[in-house]
């Protein structure tokens, strides 16, 4: 190959590589915020209520 053909080949390969990297797809995921604090709050209250009822059964004269 001549020097000019080699330069053309290298330039062409460079353009192909540049074009291939420019067309790289991007995937983005967007997740909406989850509101679980209300459920956790209700669960904590139920557990505390159960513990309080057990405590009152064991000690009826507590209050």
Query: Which one has a higher pLDDT value, 21 or 9?
Result: 9
User: Within 10 A of 51 (CB to CB), how many other CB atoms are there?
Assistant: 10
Query: Which one has a higher pLDDT value, 18 or 50?
Result: 50
d(CA 35, CA 38): 7
The confidence score (pLDDT) of residue 52 equals: 83
Query: Which one has a higher pLDDT value, 24 or 5?
Result: 5
């Amino acid at each position: 190959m001549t020097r000019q053909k080699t330069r053309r080949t290298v330039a062409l390969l460079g353009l192909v590589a540049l074009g291939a990297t420019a067309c790289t797809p991007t995937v983005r995921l967007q997740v909406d915020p989850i509101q679980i604090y209300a459920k956790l709050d209700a669960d904590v209250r139920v557990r505390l209520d159960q513990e309080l009822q057990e405590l009152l059964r064991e000690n009826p004269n507590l209050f």
